[in-house]
Amino acid sequence: MSCRVVPESHCPARAAQFDRLMSGVVSPLAERPAGGSPSYSAAHGAILSAHRTNKVLPFTEITHARIHGGLTTSGMTLSMADGTHHKLLWMSTEPARGLLRDRLLPLLGPRLAH
């Protein structure tokens, strides 16, 4: 059995999914403080209702974040102010690790280990 990576140009659904993921990280909405305008709360509701595994993790509640990479998967581990922990994983072939590091470093500062 062999496994190969299909370029995003050959898989429009995968490219669209990745674009939606990254738009949440780079959009102005991501920079607003938690508890902001009603449209901000509505956006949280829309994210949570879109899929049962979706989460809203406010930047202000993150006490520590660590981005790590491996041979097949990369990920990010978050520690939250309320003591909960979240693990986010993706394929190492995706560019998410570098994009997240570049976008989150200015927002989290010393709370981000990479």
- Give pLDDT tens digits for 47-94: 888 888 888 888 889 999 999 999 999 999 999 999 999 999 999 999
pLDDT in the model for residue 8: 46
Domains observed in the chain: 10-113 (2.30.29)
Strands (E), the chain: 62-69, 73-80, 85-91, 112-113
Q: How confident is the model at residue 16 (pLDDT cuts 50, 70, 90)?
A: low
| Total residue length of the chain | 114
Going by C-alpha positions, the residue among 52, 67, 50, 56 that lies closest to residue 29 is 56
Model pTM above 0.75: no
Q: Work out the number of other CB atoms within 10 angstroms of the CB of residue 96.
A: 21
Cβ neighbors of 33 (< 8 A, separation 6 or more) are 58, 60
Reply yes or no on whether the pLDDT at 26 is more than 60: no
